[in-house]
A and B are shown apart, each in its own frame.
Chain A
Amino acid sequence: MSLKSRTIFLAFALLKLSSVQAQQTPPFRENPAYKPALGGVIGTTGIGLTLYQPLGIQFGLEVGAGLMPYNMQIVGTYGDYLTHSTARARLHNAHLMFGWVPFHGTENGFRHLTIQLGAGYLFKAEGTLTTQLRDPQSYGDIELQPEEIGIMYTTINWKEGLAPYVGLGFSDMRIDEHFGFNIALGGYLLSQPSVSVKGTAMLEGNEINQPIIERNLQNYRYLPNLQLGIAYSFNAY
């Protein structure tokens, strides 16, 4: 065999060998919890949009924003009076989460488990309670309707700014080739809220309740987040 022939044979052999090695190399494993995707979420912190981006096969980023337009009616007896309150919470945030996929190599459902660390920027964080008596009150021949008796306004404010977040979730559980389902549980750490109480008309003087409400809200420093979402992957998987 001539040198030229041996060289050609060696080239073909190497080519063949590299081809076999390529076949023996485990196929590329994609990130099981993060795909480039855009998702809608709904949960205890409101509704929002999140952009997902994998960082290799075991990390990922989530960037998004959420709005919490939360209203609730509360009927209860406080003191001698049956009252009706409307609670409004407005906790709007933009957030950036860094996710770790610890079991990315497994074949079971835990490959979707993510541990999330990040922060939200609260650009609005306040709650209001508007309290009125539920029933009219009579003073001799004078009957006053609840709205005529007055309103007690309770305003709760958290400082705007960064709120650290920690949580875990299951991400990108495939629904079909484009859509994935995710669930997350975590919490934001908020600043100590400040409370102010103001009464109008015949409810003036209810400022004395301010320290009581402050005490009740002292643990409102954790904003729990149970969140469900569906994300649309830009590529089919």
Chain B
Amino acid sequence: MKIHQYLIVLMTAALLPILQGCEHPLKDVEVEVNTDPFAYGVLLRITDEQENPVSDVTVTIGGEDAEYIYNLNGYKQFDVEKGILILGIHPLHRPTETKPVTFTVQVSGSGYVTETVPFTITAAQYTSTYAIQIHRSETGL
């Protein structure tokens, strides 16, 4: 191999450290993923006639968009704690300007009159709080 051919090989090889000298664009980047998938949340405060929190009730979600309603952990399990239940709307089924999300919340329990409340969540209602008051049934007394 002649000297100038060596130089050509050397030129080619010289490119490698030049390229290696450049940092990877994503070095040290830590991709952040929002761990809360719910952009829309509905807080329900369930009380009796005396404004006491009620937890011994069963909540059933119904209505047109019921399948897109979850608890904050992403499950279809709606337990009321200290009178509070927070619902989330599936992140891929958010309300839009033309189509709000509609569903019903039915609260029932032994000794209570079953209450069904309709909800309509619009695109602007990222968070909303509602109070549901249930009444004790005569037979439950």
Contacts and interface: CB of A to CB of B under 8 A. Distances in A.
Interface stretch (B19-27, B102-110, B114-122, B128-136): B19-27
Interface residues of A, number: 57
Contacts, number: 127
Chain B residues touching A, majority SS = loop
Contacts of A141: 70, 74-76
A102 interface: no
Interface residues of B, number: 37
B78 to A, nearest CB: 12
A185 B26 contact: no
Contacts of A79: 29-32
A131 B8 CA distance: 38
B71 to A, nearest CB: 8
Contact of A216 (B18, B19, B28, B31): B28
B91 A216 contact: no
B15 A131 contact: no
A208 B32 contact: yes
Contacts of A222: 18
Given A203-B33, A205-B34, A209-B30, A216 B21 contact: no
A85 B29 CA distance: 13
Interface string A113-152: 1000000000000010101010001111110100011101
9 contacts: A78-B30, A81-B31, A108-B2, A139-B35, A183-B11, A203-B34, A209-B29, A217-B25, A219-B21
